[in-house]
Structure 1
Amino acid sequence: MVHRPTALITGASAGFGLALARSLVGRGWQVIGTARRADRLERVRAELGDALLAVPGDVTEPGYRAELADTARRVGDLEVVVNNASRLGPSPMPRLADYALDELESVYRTNVFAPLAIAQFTLPLLRAGGGVLVNISSDAGVEPYPDWGGYGSSKAALDQLTAILAAENPQVSIYAFDPGDMRTEMHQAAFPGTDISGIPLPETVVPTLLRLIEERPKNGRYTAADFATGVAR
């Protein structure tokens, strides 16, 4: 029986998560996929077949994360975890001085607390096989773009969280990965009414993340450009 490596991908029903799931399944992987919208995830499961273990639900909910943890433990060998699910916040995006704090809490629950919670239950599985944990970041976590304070500050927090997890778990490859601008629903919501057809599709960015996973440079924060040019720090 041929061993199929397994990845857990949050936000696997659309955008970058879906493109990554398709690519890994095409390479012979099994994917545990999450998404809040069960109908979308079911369509992905129908497309990818039994290579996708669909676990629909909201990663911000503790009860759902317990179900997801049970699924991951039943699978056993877990090679890769990609915390891809993200929340943009209100669209159009408000300035921080006007940001509703309950909305900001929702952004942080998805973009910071959920990735940490998933790391907490998957790290023992990743340690067992020397696996890889990737938290999807953004240049908005580095650059102070006006109107991006909610999403950007959450990604800055995620970057620091990722760096500390890496320092505390040197036996696991742990990365923050910034894929750059992509033609996704979330990017369109960030720029309502703007034509974003000129920016790259998620499928064109996936190979750079696969290079990161395969090459496993030292733990740190990387961008797609680092691997598109063949230069990794």
Structure 2
Amino acid sequence: MEFQSTRGVHVTYHHTTFTPTALITGASAGLGRALTHALFDIGWHVIATARHVDRLDRLRGDHVTTVVGDVTDPAHRAELATILTANGGLDLLVNNASTLGPSPMPHLAQYPLDQLAAVYDVNVVAPLALLQLALPALRSRDGVAVNITSDAAVMPYEGWGGYGSSKAALDHLTAILAAEESDVPIYSFDPGDMRTDMHQAAFPGQDISDRPEPETVVPSLLRLIESRPPSGRYVGAQLEAEVTS
């Protein structure tokens, strides 16, 4: 079955007897919200989870199941596991929920260690926990997993030590999982700079209106999901060039 998005990107779904289902964390804002809208526009069922009930309420619709909660909370993850079991499988997991950490961002020499641990809990531990519970559901439907990363994982930007090192850990975790789970494509996806609340928090008081909207990144992420290349790390701008070529 093939779905045509309004942005001209085709997403092919290989199981004609089921509606494809995606679980997206951090779905109430930024890239998570943009991807949620794009997927339910082309016929997917989206399990959308985030902490903010008011923002999640705006996503309600026939193709969206909203689940309020914190990805670091084991009880919330158990609730998601129950939903996946009832759904009978999963076609896409997108670990999009992230935290920047303190803003303004401190240098590592002054970084509060309890806040650093909290960043790692959201950006590294929670994605692994969700993958652990979702892998059986993904295997059952020939599904795909995507961890949202950042160029801060590979570039040593001053002040980005907490967030950047957590995303570097997520990248390596993703690569090792891909080596261990050869039957499930697992990707790191770097969307590049976007005009989001989190990016604004990284630059308090500055104008970030020159950054692209998250919706502009969605076609390259859909391209990754549809084309199913070998597991690895992919950059949105490079995939975008393929979409527009």
Matches within 5 A, 1:135-150: 135-150=147-162
Change (3 A) 1:178 1:17: same
Runs of 5+ unmatched residues, structure 2: 1-15
Q: Equivalent of 1:126, from 134, 138, 147? A: 138
Alignment-derived partner of residue 159 in structure 1: 171
Deviation at 1:130, TM superposition (A): 1.4
Distance in 2, matches of 1:42 and 1:227, equals 32
Residue identity opposite 2:58 in structure 1: R
Matches within 5 A, 1:38-77: 38-45=53-60, 49-77=61-89
TM-score (norm 2): 0.91
Alignment partner, residue 23 of structure 1: 38
Q: Distance between the aligned counterparts of 1:175 and 1:226, measured in 2?
A: 14
In structure 2, how many angstroms separate the alpha carbons of the residues matched to 1:126 and 1:67? Answer: 17
State the SS of the aligned residue for 2:187: strand
Q: Deviations over 1:106-165 (max 9, x none)?
A: 100100000000000100111112110000000000000010000000000000000011
Once the two structures are TM-superposed, the CA of residue 2 in structure 1 deviates from its matched residue by 6.9
What is the CA–CA distance in structure 2 between the aligned matches of 1:179 and 1:151, rounded to whole Å? 15
| Inter-partner Cα distance in structure 1 for 2:117 and 2:101 | 10
SS of equivalent residue, structure 1 residue 172 = coil
**How far, CA to CA, are the matches of 1:83 and 1:157 in structure 2?**
14
Partner of 2:209: 197
2-structure distance, mates of 1:50, 1:89: 35
Distance 1:195 1:183 in 2: 10
Q: Is the contact between residue 5 and residue 77 of structure 1 (CA under 8 Å) also seen in structure 2?
A: no
Q: Give the helix-richer structure, 1 or 2.
A: 1
1:106 aligned counterpart, secondary structure: helix
> What do you get for the CA RMSD once the two structures are aligned?
1.2
Native 8 Å contact 1:31 1:51 kept in 2? yes
Q: Supply the distance in 1 between the matched residues of 2:135 and 2:49 (Cα, whole angstroms).
A: 18
| Superposed CA offset, 1:90-118 (max 9, x none) | 10000000000110111001000000000
Is residue 79–residue 131 contact of structure 1 (8 Å, CA) maintained in 2? yes
- Identity rate of aligned residues, in percent? 64
2:51 is aligned, of 33, 36, 43, to: 36
Q: Which amino acid in 2 is paired with 1:147?
A: G
Question: Does the Cα contact within 8 Å between 1:16 and 1:203 map onto a contact in 2?
Answer: yes
Partner secondary structure for residue 222 of structure 1: strand
After TM superposition, list the pairs within 5 Å mapping 1:191-230 onto structure 2: 191-230=203-242
TM-score using structure 1 length:
0.96
What residue identity is the alignment partner of 2:42? R
Amino acid at match of 1:39: D
Number of equivalent positions: 228
